[in-house]
Amino acid sequence: MDRREFLMSAGGGLGGIALASLLQNDQLLADAAPTTQILHHPPRAKRVIQLYMSGAASQCDTFDYKPELIKDNGNPWDPGEQVQLFQSSPGKTMQAPWKWKQYGESGKWINECVAPLGECVDDMAFIHNMVSKSNVHGPATFMQATGFILPGFPGMGAWISYGLGSLTDNLPTFVVLPDPRGFAPNGAANWSAGFLPANNQGTMIRPNSRTPISNLFPPSNNFITRQSDRDVLAALKQLNQRHEQERAGDSRLNARIQSYELAAKMQLQAPEVLDLSNETKSTLNMYGLNSTEFEVQEGISEAAEIAYFGRNCLVARRMLEQGVRFVQIWSGADNGHPRRNWDSHEDLKRDHWPLGRGMSIGASALIKDLKQRGMLDDTIILWTTEFGRMPCSQGSKGRDHNPFVFSNWLAGGGIKGGTTYGESDQWSFKPADPANPTMCYDVHATILHQLGIDHEKLTFRHNGIDRRLTDVHGHVIKEIIS
């Protein structure tokens, strides 16, 4: 065999296959179709971060300024109709415990509770006429996460993973960063793949934990060695393949096999992504992190919320840089005592201030950090919660659930900053135009549109129905697209 034959043989073997795979991933093959030909239309974004406030953040104490509440504070609240609340009777009109101020060239009113986001309002689009189909945390959380109030449906991140695939081979496509104190209502079902192929489900990582990724490495002082770990994985792979051959059509095992393979790759890349020690001091300070050390507490405090949310936001930025497609960040765990989420029935001032400060410092740092790195242009940030809170008091210090109106905001990825779409009424009780509310379907449709996807065409056949993220609803909110 001469040299030319040897090179041809080597190039046409496993080495050639590997090279072809790498070139295909980077769309460098001669016959590789551009992404814009695969998608329904040219995309404006390729990544998404969803900031989820669990427990129902109050719109009228954060982003939805209503002078009427200040004017009538302490007086009986009378919207002119009978109001049935979740666990109380309507109390007196209640203003926000803190002051409001206008920010940016857009003059957007922002409450002191979330003042750090005032620097970013000209990059943000606010929606103040969001409506939920449920005033119960579990179903309402499902609705904002999956588009349905019932369990068993894929999360938005799973749909995007299914529709667009991965940007990296070494990290998951869809990553979830939960509140370090626990899960929101429904737990991991909020980020499941539902009936989609199981490999599209969210991978949970806990940056605020001593072991951010469970079982990624063997415990210290354990009988397991790196070699024995590799041997076990090799044997497990053989058993899994045999099991899979006997159960054709079941994607769960294949997803598990892929998860083990991904875990092996993550052993190399994930520790680097989660290591914040090489971040500059100015970056850490911007996210509210005085150090990379941490401790998790049960209740709420301003310092803890800044550390929890800021660390998750910084880790999210690092994951986006390494090719993660969709990151979901949670603020607030399930109901517990002391209070540890946004469900401020008892004392809104006590709960919302630390949560709001922590969220707004982390979120504003994320927007500014992505912007200075040139990543905000193709990254969408969505801020949401399951429903809002009432304009009247519950007891003397809290607010009850309000599914009739609440707020969302978006930034980046071709979203028109400094805009407001959809107004609430004078009390922030219901949409100003009750016939034209905005629902999660519209927000999801808009995000998919910015990613180059027609929300009506991204479907999956399940139980004889062509299911989609937006069910049979949704329209793109063109008013907030630049």
pLDDT confidence of residue 70: 97
Q: What is the mean pLDDT of the chain?
A: 87
Q: Is the confidence at residue 37, as pLDDT, over 50?
A: no
Q: Domain boundaries in the chain?
A: 46-480
So what's the pLDDT on residue 354? 96
pLDDT at 256: 62
Please report the pLDDT score of residue 191 as a whole number.
Answer: 96
The string of pLDDT tens digits covering residues 385-442 is: 999 999 999 988 999 999 999 999 999 999 999 999 999 999 999 999 999 999 999 9
Task: Give the pLDDT mean for 26-42.
Answer: 55
Residue 319 CA to residue 321 CA, distance in Å, equals: 5
Instruction: Give per-residue pLDDT as tens, 178-202.
Output: 998 889 999 999 999 999 998 899 9
Please give the residue that has the higher pLDDT: either 270 or 130: 130
The pLDDT of residue 249: 65
Higher per-residue pLDDT: 34 or 255 = 255
355-374: average pLDDT: 97
Higher pLDDT, 260 or 50: 50
* Residue 29 pLDDT > 50: no
pLDDT digits (tens, 9 = 90+) for 85-94: 887 888 899 9
Are 207 and 293 contacting, i.e. CB atoms less than 8 angstroms apart? Answer: no
Q: Which of 192, 188, 193, 175 is nearest to 269 (CA)?
A: 175
Confidence band for 19, pLDDT divided at 50, 70 and 90: very low
Q: Which stretch of 31-35, 311-315, 338-342 has the lowest confidence by average pLDDT?
A: 31-35
Instruction: Please state the pTM of the whole predicted model.
Output: 0.85
Query: Which pLDDT tens digit goes with each residue over 216-262?
Result: 666 666 677 777 877 887 887 788 778 777 777 666 666 666 665 66
Higher pLDDT, residue 266 or 50: 50
Q: What is the pLDDT of residue 3?
A: 65
265-312, pLDDT tens digit by residue?
Answer: 665 567 788 888 889 999 999 999 986 666 777 778 999 999 999 999
* pLDDT tens digits along 325-343: 999 999 998 877 778 899 9
Residue-level pLDDT at 43: 95
Q: Is the pLDDT of residue 20 over 70?
A: no
* C-alpha–C-alpha distance, residues 385 and 388, integer Å: 7
Dist CA 429 CA 93 (whole Å): 11
For the chain, state the CA radius of gyration: 24
369-389 residue pLDDT tens:
999 999 999 999 999 999 999
Band the pLDDT of 32: cuts 50, 70, 90: very low
- Of 413, 401, 398, whose CA–CA distance to 443 is shortest? 413
What token pair was written down for 475? 């329209």
Q: What is the pLDDT of residue 94?
A: 97
Range from 97-106, 138-147, 163-172, 228-237 carrying the lowest mean pLDDT: 228-237
pLDDT higher than threshold 80 for residue 18: no
3-class SS string, the chain:
CCHHHHHHHHHCCHHHHHHHHHHHHCCCCCCCCCHHHHCCCCCCCCEEEEEEECCCCCHHHCCCCCHHHHHCCCCECCCCCCCCCCCCCCCEECCCCCCEEEECCCCEEEEHHHHHHHHHHHHEEEEEEECCCCCCHHHHHHHHHHCCCCCCCCCHHHHHHHHHCCCCCCCCCEEEECCCCCCCCCHHHHHCCCCCCHHHCCEECCCCCCCCCCCCCCCCCCCCCHHHHHHHHHHHHHHHHHHHHCCCCCHHHHHHHHHHHHHHHHHHHHHHHHCCCCCCHHHHHHCCCCCCCCCCCCCCCHHHHHHHHHHHHHHHHHHHHCCCCEEEEEECCCCCCCCCCCCCCCCHHHHHHHHHHHHHHHHHHHHHHHHHCCCHHHEEEEEEECCEECCECECCCECCEECCCEEEEEECCCECCCEEECCECCCCCCECCCCCCECHHHHHHHHHHHCCCCCCCCCEEECCEEECCCCCCCCCCHHHEC
Q: What was the pLDDT predicted at 215? A: 61
Tens digit of each residue's pLDDT (9 = 90 or more) over 456-482: 999 999 999 999 999 999 999 999 999
CATH of 46-480, one of 3.40.1130, 1.25.40, 1.10.10, 3.40.720: 3.40.720
> What integer pLDDT is reported at residue 209 of this predicted model?
66
- pLDDT value of position 233: 74
